[in-house]
Amino acid sequence: MHVRTPVAPWLVVAVLVAVAAAAVIALDDSDSDVTRASVRGDLASLPGIPLVLPDQVPEGYSWQGLDSHEIDPSGRVVGRSSTFAAWGNLDHAPTVQVCSHTPAVQTCPRGDWSIERKVDGLGVTIAFMGGQRDRAGDTAFWESVRLSDSLDVSWLDEG
């Protein structure tokens, strides 16, 4: 025999609000916990070539932080990358991976299309993955934005 226990309407509403709040928190992909100090710590734990970052982040994109590195036989990092992802109304925009590497290393992702740049003797591969819009605007931004091998970019919180 099945006995149905009555549930107060306020309890149902409270549970729904809690579930919705948890979903919003889980879906929040902001980079607020990635700071200049935390990135310096990550880089210090894996010595080698510097991370290359743009002075500006394209409108509608957020930095997702460091995501991969390539280590040579001596244990030094010779390739380092991070990802910029579109958010909001840019659902047709590509994900962009910026990979700094020594001239001898060519293990950076190439994506659907990519461009090559140089910063202080480092090679920089900027790979575009996915996206269903005209490539010209995305490529133009990344071909012209100033790139830096220091962490002194205005958009990265001090922390």
Average pLDDT over every residue of 96-118: 90
CA–CA separation, 152 and 121 (whole Å):
19
Is the pLDDT at 65 greater than 80? The verdict is: yes
136 within some domain: yes
Q: How confident is the model at residue 20 (pLDDT cuts 50, 70, 90)?
A: very low
Domain count, the chain: 1
Residue 12 falls inside a structural domain: no
Alpha-carbon gap, residue 91 to 100, rounded angstroms: 26
Three-class secondary structure of residue 74 per DSSP: coil
**For the chain, percent of residues with pLDDT exceeding 70:** 77
End-to-end CA distance of the chain: 60
Cβ–Cβ under 8 Å, residues 64 and 29: yes
Structure-token pair, residue 114: 């990519």
Average pLDDT value over all residues in the chain: 79
Residue type (1 letter), 18: A
Higher pLDDT, 23 or 119: 119
In a domain, 154, yes or no: no
Work out the pLDDT band at 136, boundaries 50, 70, 90. confident
Angle at 87 between CA 65 and CA 116, to 5 degrees: 55
At 122, which CATH number?
3.30.200
pTM metric for this prediction = 0.75
Strands of the chain (E only): list them. 53-54, 61-71, 77-86, 95-101, 113-119, 122-129, 147-148
Is 76 among the domain residues?
yes
At 93 the pLDDT is 87
Q: Please check whether residue 48 lies inside any domain of the structure.
A: yes
Q: Which domain holds residue 142?
A: 36-148
Q: According to the model, what pLDDT value does residue 140 have?
A: 92
- Residue 29: pLDDT band (50, 70, 90) is very low
Asked if the structure places residue 23 within a domain, the reply is no
In this prediction, residue 103 carries a pLDDT of: 83
C-alpha 21/C-alpha 15 separation (Å) is: 10
CB atoms within 10 A of CB 110: 13
**Span 35-39, average pLDDT:** 89
- Range of 56-60, 89-93, 107-111, 114-118 with top mean pLDDT: 114-118
Inter-residue contact 31 to 63 (CB < 8 Å) = yes
Q: Across residues 107-125, what is the average pLDDT?
A: 92
